[in-house]
Structure 1
Amino acid sequence: DRGCYQSGYPQAAKYAEVFVDANRPDDSGSATNWASAKRTIGSGLAVTATGGICRVAEGAYSDTIILPRLVTVEGAGQGVSVTSSWYVAACPETNSCIRGLQLSGGIYGVFASGNGHVVEQCSIFSNYVGVYFTVPIYSGSRLTALRSLIVSNSKHGIYASQGVLTLENCLIAANGGDGVQQYSDNAGRSTYLVHCTVADNGSDGYEHTHNFQYPVYVTNSIFTRNAGYGYKRTSGASYGHAIAYSCVSGNGTGEIYGPNITLGSGVITNQSPALASGSYQLSEASPCVDSGTDTGVSVDAAGRPRPIVGRKPLTGSGFDMGCYELVPRVKGSVFVMR
């Protein structure tokens, strides 16, 4: 409030667990269970306590989600669709989490500032930019995306200005610009890409611009069929980028470009990753099968366990590159019932 005194009006009660359902008639319910759920996500978040969770039932929502600090919004099923013509989801504070939502139709699918935000098990598509992350210079603020599909956005899949990223088990594909574009200046912390598939983007798969004073680590990831470079660095900072156990192959302009990029063990640059037809899954003939390394990631983007061992028992590590772990065909007899 303006002035030296806070309003004497009582504040609305807030709850650690709140419920939202698009099929409710209005927002008059208390939101403390499904029977009293709010109709709109914004009304649900307004009564979610710090550290609480707002559970959203399956359905179609036309909301701009603005997450308070330390609050999680979570889809209660696979069909929670949120559309907006501006920000579909905005994280203006710190340590908020978006989980299990489909976010589409906006200028930004997710707009985030501040540190500690997590995007988990989301599908972010048909926006101008899928995820737009911007923070003050030198802040070292981090955004984490886990097991998410960031696809078919008209510009970049992910754009990060000054912040650092952790991307794990993400498919970043078929976006009109770069899959990931990162502009950072002395952010103070490292960026990590682990078990990501970055493919079919209209420019570079990953592009890093400006001076980055801490390393970028890429492990168990695939960069393929991007129109520009698979992996590109246009900055000249002293700290290097390290790529290991990854496939950077089959890109339009070239595979890897820029200074201070170290290729470690297990990097494939001269073989196609052999993705399955019409899919970003690996085919059984892919050189990326059983060619990764253990990073402590125990599931893939689809929730299947990592690793599935025994496909190349003499040479394979059991961990596949990319966001999906190959599920081998079951061998055995086929019976035809007439």
Structure 2
Amino acid sequence: MPRAAIDVISVYVRKAQKQRSRLPSFRSLAALEAVVRHGNIVWAADELGVTPGAVSKQLGSLEEELEAPLFHDGHRLRPTPVAIELAQTLGVALHLLREGWDKATHGLDTGVVTITGNASLCMHWLVPRVLAMQAAAGGRAIRVTSLHTSDTWWQSTVDIAILRHRRVPVGWESQTIGTERLTLLGSPERARRAAERGIAALGGETFLAAETRHGDLDRWLAAAGVGADTERRDSVHFYVAIEAALEDMGMVVAPIALCHDLIAQKRLAAPFPACTIRGAGLAGAYNRAICSPRTAESLFRWMKREMRRCSILPAV
């Protein structure tokens, strides 16, 4: 900072201390900087979005605070040395303020976006769509990390979470992404045989279930008119049940959207596509402390569209 500017500020500070006054308003300081830089009150007022009269009033107020003129007498707008030095110093300060503001407002729009969800959602729906999500997020890199029911995921650095409930920590915002539609799925050959025998013969089928989706299988069986007294294999996590279905170890009641790609790839099939039930609601939540609302909203809009598309059984 130039020595002359330091002297000017020192004089002002001493006067302010003597007068027991605070710093003048930010508007008056910004007005002085703009007028000296443009050399024209009208242009300065246009930049600041105020009237020329308001700028003149702010300059007059600043002169009263300084107890010194800011411009020489005459028709031409000629700033005094005090005004020039102060305006230059203010220019540096305003530049730093703008940089700080840009960093605060746009810093959350850069870097990697970390998205978390349950393991099955990450494996079969989020990970295959990373490139599409990056495009929806304006080109920002996307990282997907899975969570389990017992995980305290909000204590880690996570930008966005896809949840089967709306219980979010303080400081997080959430909105509905979609609602699951569940149907019975199995390997293509197992599904073909089941379809040929009909729903009434499902009592002899082996069903795969998971503790994390308690009740889904029983609700589907009830909707299909199948007795609950069936052979079933339970696992702790749902992705294990899906993997078992892929290995033709039984049939699983699963969200159509979650298994959309597996169905399209003919790795799973729905023997009774007309028999579906409503599943859990999915919510998207984001941490306002580290994730830009703009990025979150862009991703949530994309997820809603994609979830609707994937909730329709693909033609195979």
Using structure 2 for the length normalisation, give the TM-score: 0.24
Query: In proportion to residue count, which structure has more helix?
Result: 2
Query: In proportion to residue count, which structure has more strand?
Result: 1
The structure number with the bigger radius of gyration is 2
Considering Cα pairs closer than 8 Å and 6+ residues apart, tell me whether 1 or 2 has the greater RCO.
2
